[in-house]
């Protein structure tokens, strides 16, 4: 495989999509450089024929501008690519589709008139281009799949850590493997999950050699700002937000004066919204929910999540700390531990439109905050990210006391342990202590220990 051409979880999901009789054209969504094109190229190997269109190529872009009926368009595509249909399975991949509103609009007709053809599209800044062109996705005629930076599980597979991957995939995780998995997760958190970074690391096994890769990625995101800025002022605000967002990662933010600036809340809000559309940042809102569903409170200040922890580490200058500290919670106020946990939780969400939330109680008497809330079956589960095996659980106890919750999760630098606990007010609950690296496996352990 070439650079960044390693298997991704999305390849398995694409295969499931392929086998469905009711499948629709699929739009692969994700930030620039998360590996969308590479994933589809790998997926294409299971087809008899593969047509790749890149709409940054003018000749291929022009195919959609003639407004041909979809069957004639398909014939024009075959002619342009010099392909003769052989009767086997065929995948059509339309890359950089954001460059052609006409291509987005015609996807529905592939579904209606050429159902035997497998059609996947991908693009960066997709929502931004759609908004600027005043067109909408053909709702009900396409479906979506999201891509993120590599997860820890994908990192283990990409780096050839087969024994560690087998141990990680075993529930409960074997005790003998915990130290090794912690070491690998530490490296993963330092590097992040951008495919180009991981590919270079696999080749060179050197952290310092990756600095130019991080720099180029961040510069490309800053350069992109002009593509979704409606005017020069917004362009300046966007660049400022991109450059300062890593310093605000995992912190609760206010829009007005963001990043020690003089920009107003409205200006910063517009920039953050554009960057959310580009999937570079995400706002995690607090919830005051004491029962399901988990409802974000958009009136309260959110926490900011940047695209990738590795990019944050590079930009903020935290790489050296990973060489000195074993506990991710032991430096930078524990924010990187929270950030990588959120990154893993977001990537693992089955409903990508659902908001990942944390819990707060803000009152004159006292404030409380629980790092994350998730739903497991019909239960509301609080998650705390802590250092070591101990640490104050005051907010967690308060949440347990005020809800019907009987189980909680603590993520830390310690091993797997399940405890029967009692809050200071006498309420019993089960506390599942998991090492950080099992964040994406929380549901498996809730199934195992929460009966």
Q: What is the pLDDT of residue 332?
A: 59
Which neighbouring-strand residues pair with 94? 53, 121
What confidence tier does 3 reach under pLDDT thresholds 50, 70, 90?
A: very low
Angle between helices 178-191 and 195-204 (to 10 degrees): 120
> In the predicted model, is pLDDT for residue 136 greater than 50?
yes
Q: What is the pLDDT of residue 1?
A: 42
Query: Which domains are present in the chain?
Result: 9-146 (3.40.50.300), 152-277+308-327 (no CATH)
Distance CA 377, CA 223 (A): 43
Among 338, 450, 320, which Cα is nearest to 386's?
A: 338
Distance CA 30, CA 26 (A): 13
pLDDT digits (tens, 9 = 90+) for 12-24: 999 999 999 889 9
Q: Please indicate whether residue 123 or residue 239 has the higher confidence score (pLDDT).
A: 239
Which neighbouring-strand residues pair with 422? 428
Distance CA 215, CA 384 (A): 33
pLDDT digits (tens, 9 = 90+) for 154-163: 999 999 999 9
Distance CA 62, CA 80 (A): 11
User: What is the enclosing helix (H) or strand (E) of 366?
Assistant: none
Q: What is the pLDDT of residue 311?
A: 96
Distance CA 95, CA 184 (A): 34
């Amino acid at each position: 495989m070439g650079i960044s051409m390693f298997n991704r979880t999305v390849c398995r999901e694409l295969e499931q999509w392929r086998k469905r009789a009711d499948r629709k054209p699929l739009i692969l969504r994700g930030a620039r450089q998360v590996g969308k094109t590479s994933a589809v190229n790998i997926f294409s190997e299971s087809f008899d024929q593969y047509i790749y269109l890149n709409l940054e190529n003018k000749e291929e872009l022009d195919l959609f501008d003639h407004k041909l009926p979809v069957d004639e368009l398909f014939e024009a595509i075959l002619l342009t690519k010099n392909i003769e249909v052989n009767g086997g399975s065929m995948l059509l991949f339309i890359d950089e589709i954001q460059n052609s509103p006409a291509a987005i609009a015609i996807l529905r007709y592939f579904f209606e008139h050429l159902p035997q053809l497998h059609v996947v599209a991908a693009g960066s800044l997709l929502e931004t281009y759609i908004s600027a062109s005043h067109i909408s996705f053909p709702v009900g005629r396409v479906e979506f799949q999201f891509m993120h930076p590599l997860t820890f599980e994908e990192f283990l597979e990409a780096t050839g850590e087969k024994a560690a991957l087998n141990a990680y995939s075993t529930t409960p995780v074997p005790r003998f493997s915990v130290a090794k998995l912690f070491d690998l997760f530490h490296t993963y958190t330092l590097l992040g999950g951008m495919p180009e970074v991981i590919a270079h690391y696999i080749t060179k096994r050197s952290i310092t050699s990756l600095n130019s890769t991080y720099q180029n990625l961040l510069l490309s995101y800053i350069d992109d700002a002009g593509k979704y800025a409606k005017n020069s002022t917004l362009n300046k605000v966007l660049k400022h937000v991109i450059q300062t967002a890593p310093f605000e990662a995992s912190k609760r933010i206010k829009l007005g004066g963001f990043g020690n600036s003089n920009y107003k809340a409205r200006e910063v809000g517009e920039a953050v919204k554009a960057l959310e559309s580009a999937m570079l940042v995400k706002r995690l809102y607090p919830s005051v929910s004491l029962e399901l569903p988990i409802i974000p409170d958009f009136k309260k200040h959110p926490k900011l999540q940047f695209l990738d922890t590795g990019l944050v580490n590079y930009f903020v200058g935290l790489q050296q700390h990973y060489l000195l500290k074993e506990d991710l919670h032991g430096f930078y106020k524990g924010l990187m531990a929270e950030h990588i946990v959120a990154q893993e939780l977001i990537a693992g969400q089955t409903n990508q439109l659902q908001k990942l939330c944390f819990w707060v109680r803000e009152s004159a008497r006292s404030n409380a905050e629980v790092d994350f809330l998730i739903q497991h079956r019909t239960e509301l589960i609080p998650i705390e990210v802590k250092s070591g095996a101990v640490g104050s659980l005051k907010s967690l106890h308060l949440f347990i006391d005020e809800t019907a919750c009987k189980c909680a999760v603590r993520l830390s630098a310690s091993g797997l342990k399940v405890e029967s606990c009692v809050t200071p007010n006498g309420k019993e609950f089960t506390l599942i202590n998991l090492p950080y690296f099992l964040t994406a496996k929380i549901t498996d352990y809730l199934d195992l220990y929460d009966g």
